[in-house]
Amino acid sequence: MSDSNRYQAGRSAADRSGAAAGASPTAPAAKRGSPLPHHRRAGKHADEGHELSVAGGLAALSLDALSSVAYGPEAMVLVLVAAGSGALRFTLPLTLVITGMLALLVISYTQVIAAHPEGGGAYAVAKVNLGRIPALLAAASLFVDYVLTVAVSLAAGAASLGSVFPGLAHHLLLVALVGLALLTAVNMFGIAESAKLLMIPTAVFIVSILAVIVVGPFHSHPVATIGTSLGPIRPTTALGIVLILKAFASGCSAVTGVEAIANGVPAFRRPRIRSAQRTEISLGVLLGVMLVGLALLIREHHLVPRGGVTILAQITAGAFGTGWMFYVSNLAVTLVLALAANTSFGGLPVLMSLLARDHRLPHLFYLRAERPVYRHGILALALAATLLLFAVDAQTSRLIPLFTIGVFIGFTISQVGLVRHWRGLRPPHWRLRAAVNGAGAMMTAVAVIVFLSTKFLAGAWVVTIAIPLLMLLFWHTERYYAEVASDLELGRTPGPPRRRNSIVVVPTSTVTLLTQRALSAALSLGETVVAVAVAGDEQESQAIKNAWLRWNCSVPLEVLLDPHRSLVRSVLRYVESIQTDATITVLIPQIIPNKRRHEVLHNQRARLLESVLKAQTDGVVIATLPFHIHD
């Protein structure tokens, strides 16, 4: 059978059966026996009791997108100012273009929510409509983007906090890691709990930004000017299409995160689709109003970069001055930037669980803990973000060139997939829907090309390597599970089980209570029981046999000679030497101390013997008998 046929057969069998442990996590509980009773819990990924409302969804899954107003417009201004302060007049037109793309993306993702309420976003769309390779590309892109979102948000939040409290400016990595640890701990208890925690800072942030946009236009000049002047702005490059495209690419970082709601639909309360769609639309309206409003204020107040402060801080000072509202607004921005990482904690574990269900990640990531969360996915995300923060020393400037590429690849794949979806279903007005998605796909595809061409040498090359490597990981994992399914002959009915005689081998050394209990258990397991001991010479062998005779045990003893007294090697050779059709069971007695720190005081040969027998024998049953020491 060819590899491709084996893959298809194995995958089909794994999807149909699921009877073998670890072969398919998709089998329903009803197929395995009576379902265990369980209580409804509010939580992140529970089958029942989803608790996210629209407000909760904005708090838990939208902070990445909403908080991007703190760095998206500024990134655009920093590019345009290279052509002189006059080039900043393009800030508003570019923002309007980005806002138009945002509207198309919001429409697209409300459609994704309806078509794929199981979550997964671009991955789910690509898997159904575009095939295997685009699905792997979408999954890898989203994976990279989620990890970068955590790192960028925490690094930016740490930097913002360092601006308010200068004493922390030299400990940004530590601040970011503390924030990551807190978010990880909160999310281990479920998304509903994390949403409640995030609602207040989210509300303060939204209200403060909207207040800036409303109050700012009433002042023809900024109420207060903060930061240090950088001197006269002299053009260092010509204003042309390349610079405008670079500014557009940098400004597009303001729309990252709009896909997270579609990825986390299972976390919403019923009716999930309607709740998630309303949250997506609310996010689009809020983000669009913020981006356009801030761009108008940048043009109205003729803002340019100044030393030691952000563009958003200048806008806030221009509207409120430097009173208490200024501090409330900027502290809310700092907090929300740090908490924006929570978006990834809501979306990536769901994506990883879908990949595991499709056999493209280890099935470990499909398992839930006692509380309804994908703990392994959360821990994997936290570990990846930790390594990335260490690699760049929590410097936001080193992360920005890596940002946005992955998510815009996901945007493009998602919308191309929806075009295929509408062409296949042909519902009423399908041509209009396909046209909207097609236009969005072209805009986001152009954005990806611009990102790669303008940011490649600045760090985007890392993403272009990471995404194919992740795709290769998913592909190899899927192929491995297909081979396992083929070896287990999943989907085929095996012959009936048959009873066989059994031989039980019990490794021992001296006559103790542990020996007595092990042999008693062995006698209940099989018809033939043999105790095996190892001696270094004939004298030691005779001593062991004499002790056995004095015990007057009915179980025969085999003493194996080995100059090195290697129990593991001797027992392995003994088992391999048995020529029989009977089932061989090796029962290994093992001491379990009451306190974990005492484990190092005991010989670890039992665990080593168990590992060697599992690795080097086939068809041998390996069992352990724990003997608890109450110390």
Kindly report, residue by residue over 286-339, the tens digit of the pLDDT. 999 999 999 999 988 888 887 767 788 888 888 888 888 888 888 888 888 877
3 state SS of 46? coil
Strands ordered across the beta sheet of 621-629: 557-561, 528-535, 502-507, 583-593, 621-629
CA–CA–CA angle 425, 119, 461 (5° rounding): 100
Question: In this structure, are residues 259 and 414 in contact, taking their beta carbons and an 8 Å threshold?
Answer: yes
Lowest mean pLDDT among 53-67, 142-156, 158-172: 158-172
Q: How far is CA 10 from CA 15, 20, 25, 353, 414, in A?
A: 9, 13, 14, 20, 28
Sign of CA dihedral 359, 363, 369, 374: negative
Peptide bond preceding 266: is omega within 30 degrees of 0, i.e. cis? Answer: no
Residue 165 corresponds to which tokens in the numbers above? 């409290």
Q: What is the CATH number assigned to the segment(s) 54-484?
A: 1.20.1740.10
Does the pLDDT value for residue 17 go beyond 70? no
Determine the Cα–Cα distance for residues 205 and 65; give it in Å rounded to an integer: 13
Residues of 561-591 as b/e, b for ≥16 C-beta within 10 angstroms? eeeeeebbebbbebbeeeeeeebbbbbbbbe
pLDDT above 90 covers a percentage of the chain that reads 24
502-629: CATH homologous superfamily?
A: HUPs (3.40.50.620)
| H helix or E strand, kind and range, residue 584 | strand 583-593
For the ranges 92-96, 159-163, 529-533, the lowest mean pLDDT is seen at: 159-163
Q: Write down the domain spans for the chain.
A: 54-484, 502-629
Tokens linked to 602: 């005991």
* Res 35: pLDDT: 39
Weakest mean pLDDT among 85-99, 210-224, 333-347, 496-510? 333-347
Cβ neighbours of residue 214 closer than 8 Å, sequence gap 6 or more = none
Which of the given ranges, 7-11, 346-350, 505-509, 597-601, has the highest pLDDT on average? 505-509
Dist. CA 132–CA 455, nearest whole Å: 28
Question: What is the SS3 assignment for 569?
Answer: helix
Q: What is residue 24's predicted lDDT score, i.e. its pLDDT?
A: 45
